[in-house]
Amino acid sequence: MAVFESDKHTVATNPAILTDFLAIPSNLLEILPQDRIENWRSEGDTCAFKIKGLADIQLKLFSANANEVVYASISEKPFNFKLIIHAKGTENTELSATFDADVNTFMSMMLKTPLTNFLNSLGEALSKRYGAA
């Protein structure tokens, strides 16, 4: 397993509001990089989309509480992974994201920069939505 982590971002809302928003799969479209996403679909606790030039992604809400939202891939292609969004704080939220992927060391080295950039873009999108604190 390889673990990729975002930078920490602070947003101007409390963790429960943030995780409530993130626990609705259809809301993910709002924070994904729009220029890279196509074929978006969402139904119930799942969503699916294609990252242009890369892979088809299918996610299912795995768990959610006031401090963490976890999505798991429901397809083995391109590989199994979990997207974990951590939220802590009281009035403002310190947010970070982790991508836990079932990949070998070579693939991990290839994915490090694009996945870290992707995770950071989620934090930046949430800072724009709620305001940076």
pLDDT digits (tens, 9 = 90+) for 121-130: 999 999 999 9
DSSP assigned state of 121:
H
Q: Mean pLDDT, to the nearest integer, of 24-35?
A: 94
Residue recorded with tokens 């890369």? 54
**CATH number of residue 58's parent domain:** 3.30.530.20
Mean pLDDT of the chain: 93
CB < 8 Å & 24+ apart, contacts of 25-34: 25/59, 25/60, 25/61, 25/71, 28/59, 28/71, 30/125, 30/129, 31/122, 31/125, 31/126, 31/129, 32/122, 32/125, 33/118, 33/121, 33/125
Residue 35: domain span? 2-130
Phi-psi region of 39 (alpha: psi -120 to 50; beta: other; left: phi over 0): left
- Based on the structure, what is the number of domains in the chain? 1
Structure confidence at residue 124 (pLDDT): 95
Omega of the bond leading into 114 within 30 degrees of 0 (cis): no
The pTM assigned to this predicted structure is: 0.93
**Residues 63-116 pLDDT 10s:** 999 999 999 999 878 899 999 999 999 989 999 999 999 999 999 999 999 889
